[in-house]
Chains A and B, each alone.
Chain A
Amino acid sequence: MSARIRSFAAAAAGPALLAALVLLPPLLGRPFHYHLGILVGINALLALSMQVMLRINQLSLAQAGFMGLGAYASALLTRDIGLPFAAALPLAGLLPALLAGALGPVLLRVRGVHFVLLTFALGEVIVLVFVEWVSLFGGNNGLLDIPPASLFGTALRAKPAFYALTAATLLAALALCRWMTRGERGMIVAGLAGNEPLLQSLGVDALPHRCALFAFSAFLAGLAGSLYAHYFGYISPEAFGFWTAVNALIMGVLGGVTLLLGPLTGAVLLVPLPELFRDAIAYQRLFYGLALMALLLFLPRGLLGVLRASKGSTP
């Protein structure tokens, strides 16, 4: 009987944690908390997109660039073409997904550090295009006056409303990622990570599946970009550079690379830090660096991984 309770607790732990995190800003209730919640959600989406690739043992640093692509696409589609936000949001995901799908057959042939460097270069090229193509993307000044998100004719100007949109998008993305790791899809993801030659010998085309996952990861990053653009109403190239990708990576690793809620947990822990310790800005990076080193050294499977292991639900 106690075993059944324990297995129920293990099954309920994820949804309970998710519900607690999603409900935190409304429970605290201040605009600042909603603001943090929105930032956490956007960063968690980006970290989730990176996790999709980490699940197949490929670290892509292009995800911040894909996020930028989604942000600029969403901004231009709504501001200059007058598309409703409800149409721009999925398009902001599809555009980077198409780019990733087109480049995947070339990029994904390489592995390890070479893939990391190629995606780093791709991310830099995307940002460079934003900087250099001034007439379309506004150069270093970026784009201003991006209209607020709106759904069913109602502008989501208030922070609680935008927070609800962010949370809904994140929940949908989590559901998609969960679907992706179930059934035959999960078998293929696990096989790509664990033993690709064996997977191929069983009749699976590895490269097309890797490309599909790369496109899916870019789709999630593009959604994060669209939310970012419409929340701030202003975007510039530097927001989508190397450090954005690295921060998302840190969040994912900190929370737990293989756990669905790992990226969100990492974002919850790391995103508020700079906002909360604005006064101690001089020591912030030092503290951040030391904390990160300690976490990675002592908790290599991430915080959620430790919590799960201590409950004995998974070895």
Chain B
Amino acid sequence: MTVPRLDVDGVSRSFGGIRAVRAVSFALEPGRITGLIGPNGAGKTTLFNLIAGTLKPDEGRIRFEGRALAGLGPGAVARLGLARSFQATSVFPGLSVREHLHRAALLRHAGRPADLLRWRVLAAARRAAGERAAELLDFAGLAGVAETEAAALPYGLQKILGVVMALAGGAHMLLADEPAAGLNPTETLRMGALLRAIHRKRGVDILLIEHDLRMVMALCDRIVALGDGAVIADGPPALVRRDPAFVAAYLGGDADAA
């Protein structure tokens, strides 16, 4: 059996008295796009923060490509090749789109203070980052706005930039937190096409949190549904959308809405 790309095993996390994530387990095989869905407050973003190292689980283990993530902070997790993009658009003030991609490709080589003294490594990384930024600009269709300040981009392009930045460091897996939230139908289609291209052309697995069920159903090979912090359904999209527990929790009993 192959080593799962991501193995979440019995993970729980509470905030005060609220159990935000309860004994969640799933293992993701390599080569998949997986949807993580559930109503607001189901624990999706908390689970992302646990996987990405921003939060520590109270219980359970998370493994990425067979490697335990316990004790690793968000920077170290990202350096392993497990990248994330954010729900809200997230950019550095005052920097152009190209500078964002350049930094995104470069900074993993300066992750720890001691790395700043390895000037030979940094010099090579600097050259590579310039090429990578140019290549990603073309890949994501952002070449026309390369020199525009990222904060001045339309919302949809900012979200695309956020997703592409997450890839710039050479990730094998992307945690995408609601990439289509706030986008109009045209922008949503473009985002869906980008995610598919990221998966097919760059071989990056994706774990996708998304409320746009049409996008989830179209993109994903598998869906994990959360309700009240626990897994309530898990399987191929066609099965999950008919699962009674999922229908009750997510759609309020109306199976046809999916």
Residues of A within 8 A of B (CB): 183-185, 187-188, 190-191, 194-195, 197-209, 211-212
Q: Closest B-chain residue to A200, C-beta based? A: B74
Contacts of A203 in B (CB 8 A): 75-76, 78-79, 107-108, 111, 169
Find B112's partner among A183, A195, A199, A205 (CB 8 Å cutoff): A205
- B252: chain A residues within 8 A (beta carbon): none
Q: Is B113 a contact partner of A208 (Cβ separation < 8 A)?
A: yes
A212 touches B73 (CB 8 A): no
Per DSSP, chain B at the interface is: helix
Stretch at the interface among B82-90, B181-189, B213-221: B82-90
**With the chains together, A199 CA to B54 CA distance in Å?**
12
A195: chain B residues within 8 A (beta carbon) = 90-93
Decide yes or no: A202 and B169 within 8 Å by CB, A188-B107, A197-B54 being known contacts: yes
Q: How far is the CB of B67 from chain A (nearest CB, A)?
A: 15
Interface residues on B, range: 20 to 34
CB of B84, distance to nearest CB on chain A (Å): 5
Query: CA–CA, A197 to B166, complex, Å?
Result: 12
How many angstroms between the C-alpha atoms of A203 and B83 in the bound complex?
Answer: 8
Chain A positions within 8 Å of B103 at CB level: 187, 191, 202
Beyond contacts A198-B92, A200-B54, A204-B75: 17 other A-B pairs, Cβ-Cβ < 8 A, are A184-B107, A185-B116, A191-B103, A195-B91, A197-B54, A197-B74, A199-B107, A200-B78, A201-B74, A201-B78, A202-B168, A203-B79, A204-B107, A206-B73, A206-B74, A209-B113, A211-B113
Q: Is B113 within 8 A of A201, CB to CB?
A: no
List the A residue with the shortest CB-CB distance to B165.
A202
Q: For B74, B76, B79, B165, which residue has the most chain A Cβ atoms within 10 angstroms? A: B74
Contact call A188/B54, Cβ cutoff below 8 A: no
- Chain A residues lying within 8 Å of B116, measured Cβ to Cβ, are 184-185
* Chain B residue with Cβ nearest A212: B113
| Chain A residue, CB-CB nearest to B115 | A184
B91, B111, B122, B169: which contacts A205 (Cβ < 8 A)? B111
- Per-residue CB contact flags for chain B residues 153-176 toward chain A (1 = under 8 Å, else 0) read 000000000000110110000000
Give the complex CA separation of A195 and B165 in angstroms: 14
Instruction: Please name all residues of chain B whose beta carbon is closer than 8 Å to the beta carbon of A202 when the two chains form the complex.
Output: 75, 78, 103-104, 107-108, 165, 168-169
13 contacts between A and B (CB under 8 A): A184-B106, A184-B126, A187-B103, A194-B93, A198-B92, A199-B107, A201-B84, A202-B108, A202-B169, A203-B75, A203-B107, A204-B110, A206-B74
In whole angstroms, what is the CA distance A264 to B93 when docked?
A: 27
Specify the chain B residue showing the minimal Cβ separation from A180.
Answer: B116
- A207 cross-chain contacts in B, Cβ below 8 A: 73
Which B residue sits closest to A196, measured CB to CB?
A: B74
CA distance A206 to B53 in the complex (A): 12
Complex Cα spacing A212 to B112, Å: 10
Min C-beta distance of B92 to chain A, whole Å: 5
A197, B86: Cβ atoms closer than 8 Å: yes
Inside 8 A of A206's CB, which chain B residues have their CB?
A: 73-75
Asked whether A188 and B110 contact (CB < 8 A) given A200-B78, A201-B78, the answer is yes
Give the docked Cα–Cα distance between A197 and B107 (Å): 13
Taken together as a complex, chains A and B put the C-alpha atoms of A123 and B165 apart, in Å, by 41
A183 to B102, CA, bound (A): 12
**A188 to B86 CA separation, bound complex (whole angstroms):** 19
Chain A proximity mask over B56-91: 1 for CB below 8 Å, otherwise 0: 000000000000000001111011000111100011
Which chain B residues border A197 with CB–CB below 8 Å?
Answer: 54, 74, 86, 90
Q: Which residues of B contact A204 (CB under 8 A)?
A: 75, 107-108, 110-111
B124 to chain A, nearest CB (A): 13
Question: How far does the alpha carbon of A200 sit from the alpha carbon of B86 in the complex, in Å?
Answer: 12
CB distance from A189 to the nearest CB of B (A): 11
| Interface residues in B7-39 (C-beta closer than 8 Å to A) | none
Q: Does B47 contact A (CB under 8 A)?
A: no
Instruction: Please indicate the chain B residues that have their CB under 8 angstroms from the CB of A211 in the complex.
Output: 113
In the complex, B204 has a CB within 8 A of chain A:
no
B6 within 8 Å of A (CB atoms): no
For residue B50, CB closer than 8 A to chain A, the reply is no
Contact of B207 with A by CB under 8 A: no
Q: Is B233 an interface residue (CB 8 A)?
A: no
Contact in complex: A200, B90 (CB < 8 Å) = no
What are the residues of chain B within 8 A of A190 when measuring CB–CB? 92
Q: Are B111 and A201 in contact (CB under 8 A)?
A: no
Question: Which chain B residues numbered 100 to 159 have a C-beta less than 8 Å away from chain A?
Answer: 103-104, 106-113, 116, 122, 126
CA–CA, A251 and B74, complex, Å: 36
Say if the beta carbon of B52 comes within 8 Å of chain A. Answer: yes
Assembly CA distance A111 to B113 (angstroms): 20
Please name all residues of chain B whose beta carbon is closer than 8 Å to the beta carbon of A199 when the two chains form the complex: 107
Neighbouring B residues of A208 by C-beta, 8 Å: 112-113
